[in-house]
Amino acid sequence: MSTDTPQSPDTQKLTAFEKLKEDSRYLRGTIAEELKEPTDHFDKDNIQLLKFHGMYQQDDRDLRGAARKEGGGKAFGMMLRSRIPGGRMTSEQFLAELDLCDEFGNATMKITTRQSIQLHGIAKGNLKQTIKRINDVQLSTLAACGDVNRNVMCCPAKRADGLHQEIQDLSQDLAMSLAPQTTGYYELWMTDPETDEKTLVGGQPEGSVVEPLYGPRYLPRKFKCAVTLADDNCVDIYANDLGFLAVVRDGKIIGYNVLVGGSMGVTPSAAKTFPALAKRMAFVTPDQVIDVAKAVIMVQRDYGNREDRKRARMKYLIHDWGIERFRAMVEEYFGSPLQDCTPDDVSGFDDHMGWQEQGDGLWSYGLNIENGRLYDNEHRQLKEAMREICGKLNPNVRLTAHQSVIFCDLQESDRAVLEEICRRHRVPLTEETSTVRRWSMACVALPTCGLAITESERILPSIIDSIEQPLAKLGLDRDAFTIRMTGCPNGCARPYNSDIALVGKAKGKYTLFAGGALLGTRLAYIYKDMVPEESVTEELIGIFAAYKANREQGESLGDFCHRVGRDALETLAAEAPKP
């Protein structure tokens, strides 16, 4: 445990960003003034504040050359993210997002690893209209990004057991209870783009407490929350700052084991940073959940590191203090002692793909969307298929933490209709998708993400293409294991607890990780660093061959890599016969 104990904000030397938040008038900044200026981008201060409103200013690196030829510099566009607790949407909401990606975005839509939707390439001048229309269908972009609690994740499966409905209702309650209270968002965006007249009254009374939970500085860093059942960790609960794992007795939820301090982000050049899995803190009853969640956030608010953003996530506070001291402080803010965790822990993972009975006489269908990208081209018409399914069948829509879609509440007669729509638009059904492709995912990376060092989403499909046949020859084509890829070490696709991961380290080069767990309960180790893109397939096939030749009965790929360790895995991969 480090002796570098964080101080309270009153004694810390605040960063410029902390002062910016404090002086922003609760996230207003000078955004309103900049929206009226005829420029294609925002200044550096407002760029930071706009994150709290659900957006990042980006530069499409593929278009830079054309922009420079036309006398410009960068090809600016905004990425706009919706906040969708538990990934639950109506067909109307889903269709509205598809319309916006065509009208104002780059004609593609991205389903994220946190069960939300991103639109890319939105011009500054179209922001107000886009955000207003998202709110018109009862969605929001507020707090989808920024130093606040972001989208609350939850197992999205539709089941008639009562348990799934209960945790999904809790995710909605958490999202509402932990949301920022500033009306600055509505003042900026809920106005008519033509007349600038407010369609939703904003403003808070003078002297009122605007942000009772967050305060004027908000949190030191982003904060992520998830809820799930022990037998289905489809939301990767250990990768979140705060997790609520349902404890079930006799078919009823009696409470939740509280997990704290998970986070995937890391800066390789800074040894003081690291990925971390959440730690088990305490057991709470259902009526305690919201107040305990607020207590955890308030501890992070008051004691998290505001001097160094690289060490500002809650995992570092817990690392420096230890879980015992952190729990004691949460109890102090909560107002009473908490019970210890029950033995219940993660025991399963269902990606909810394919046809599944809901238990109420209706069906759900999980459709694998590779890397979450919806698009239309001459080979595949994903958007058109989605439009027709939602238009004809009007299902409830659920977004998964693996970037895919579940259509819910379908009749038996709808099954053939849905499959025919997919085939007509050349969209592979989940049953026609290889296991390795189904369990893979990638972040956006190039060309739009400003943090990206190298490719991710655009090249993972070709990597999967290259390993499908070797896996089949090895007889491993039905083995479920996660392969996750990111274009930088920020960890947006949760690579560090994956069975296998590729993390961008330099242009065209990756750090190859192995030994994580399908259940998300173990961190992977660095197997090889600076692996050239052209060598990735060979390295992966070596690992698969070693696994085939040396695994124990019932052993998963991640468990095998963990058991043998890095050095032995390298030796075994070199010696194993390749397909």
Residues recognised as catalytic: 81, 150, 222, 224, 443, 449, 488, 492
Considering Cα of 123, then 127, then 133, then 135, what sign does the dihedral take? positive
E strands in 358-476? 363-367, 373-374, 396-399, 405-410, 440-442
Residue environment code for 272-307, b if the CB has 16+ CB neighbours within 10 A, otherwise e: ebebbbbbbbbbbebebbbebbbbbbbbbbbbbbbe
Q: How far apart are the first and last CA of the chain?
A: 46
The closest alpha carbon to 54, from 228, 237, 180, 197, belongs to 180
**Could you count the other beta carbons within 10 Å of the beta carbon of residue 396?**
18
Q: From edge to edge, which strands make up the β-sheet containing 440-442?
A: 440-442, 483-486, 500-506, 509-514, 525-532
Using CA atoms, how far apart are residues 388 and 365, in angstroms rounded to an integer? 15
141, 83 contact by CB (below 8 A): yes
Count other Cβ atoms within 10 Å, centred on residue 412: 9
H/E segment holding residue 467: helix 460-473
Plot region of 577 (φ>0 → left; ψ -120 to 50 → alpha; else → beta): beta
* 3-class DSSP state of 449: coil
For the CA atoms of 479, 481, 483, 489, what is the dihedral angle to 10 degrees? -160
What are the tokens at 490? 């920020």
The dihedral over CA atoms of 207, 213, 218, 219, expressed in degrees to the nearest 10, equals 160
How far is the C-alpha of 337 from the C-alpha of 142, rounded, in Å? 33
**79 strand-pairing partners:** 56
CB atoms within 10 A of CB 354: 16
In order of 91, 162, 487, the CA distances from 154 in angstroms are 19, 14, 26
> What sign results for the dihedral spanned by CA atoms 338, 344, 349, 352?
negative
DSSP code for 184: H
Q: For the CA atoms of 301, 304, 305, 306, what is the dihedral angle to 10 degrees? A: 0
d(C-alpha 372, C-alpha 212), whole Å: 36
**Identity of the amino acid at 537:** T
DSSP state of 478: T
Residue 415 identity:
R
